[in-house]
Amino acid sequence: MGGGLPSGSLTLIEGGSGSGKSVLSQQLIWGALSDGYRVHLFTSESTVRSLIRQMETIDLDILDYVLLGKCRIFPVALSKSGISALPTLLDACNNLDSDLIVIDSITGALTHAADSSVTMQFFQACQRITGRGTTLIVTLHDEGMPNEVMNSIRSMCDANLKLRTEKDGQRIIKLLEVAKIRGASSGTGSIVGFDVEPGWGMRVIPISKARG
């Protein structure tokens, strides 16, 4: 990933359902916790207990960090909160003293956004949060989002990781494209093939093999 995600950056992880957005963000959360950072996760998909269990099954055991208060998990029903979802979420983020905030995923909240200007305002507010030194990672299922809105969001982010699945003969492979990392030490645009294996987590597959 070109030397990694810079601290104080805003990262967009985008991809369809099952493409690996949650697993990739969990891997990044694990990395940050291992490096001693304080992490806050807003999850629209899990309870605290189910998330800890699920991460444990891919060899990312965060229980100690949760018990120590280094990792805090907030389940949020973003798709049920209507138009209050984005302001409430931002309010919560603004009041955190955090090194890394992860929102997995923002999709449900954006589908309730009145128009694209509300979505843009949300990402502008995210930029202000990162301006104070907090690293922010937002995952998004881009289905149904207008192309021009997606392009505006991407341009507002410091890093953009795109996930997709591709059919390769009999099997489905997952691909991670590093579309952008601002200030990356090496060139971006690289594509990595990977799989998610129980008991292991993300396993990188050499791209030539991934592509057959």
Ligand X SMILES: Nc1ncnc2c1ncn2[C@@H]1O[C@H](COP(=O)(O)OP(=O)(O)O)[C@@H](O)[C@H]1O
Q: What whole-number distance in Å separates Cα of residue 128 and Cα of residue 105? A: 20
From 17-25, 71-79, 95-103, 121-129, span contacting ligand X (CB under 6 A):
17-25
Segment lying near ligand X (by CB under 6 A), choices 14-22, 90-98, 107-115, 177-185: 14-22
For position 46 contacting ligand X by CB under 6 A, the verdict is no
Nearest to 166 by CA among 18, 26, 58, 12: 18
Find the DSSP H helices in 80-146. Answer: 85-94, 107-110, 116-131
Of the ranges 21-29, 64-72, 85-93, 180-188, which one interacts with Mg ion (CB under 5 A)?
A: 21-29
Give φ, ψ of 64 to 5 degrees: -60, -40
Among residues 22 and 160, whose Cβ is nearest to Mg ion?
A: 22
Residue 132 or 167: the one with the smaller Cβ distance to ligand X is 167
Compute the radius of gyration of the chain from its Cα atoms: 17
Does 22 interact with ligand X (rule: CB under 6 A)?
A: yes
Sheet holding 39-43, edge to edge: 71-75, 39-43, 100-104, 135-140, 10-15, 159-168, 171-181, 191-197, 201-205
- Partner whose binding site includes residue 19, from ligand X, Mg ion, none (CB under 5 to 8 Å by kind): ligand X
Considering the rule CB under 6 A, would residue 196 count as an interface residue with ligand X? Answer: yes
Binding residues (CB under 5 A) for Mg ion: these are: 21-22
Binding residues (CB under 6 A) for ligand X: these are: 15, 17-23, 54, 57-58, 196, 198
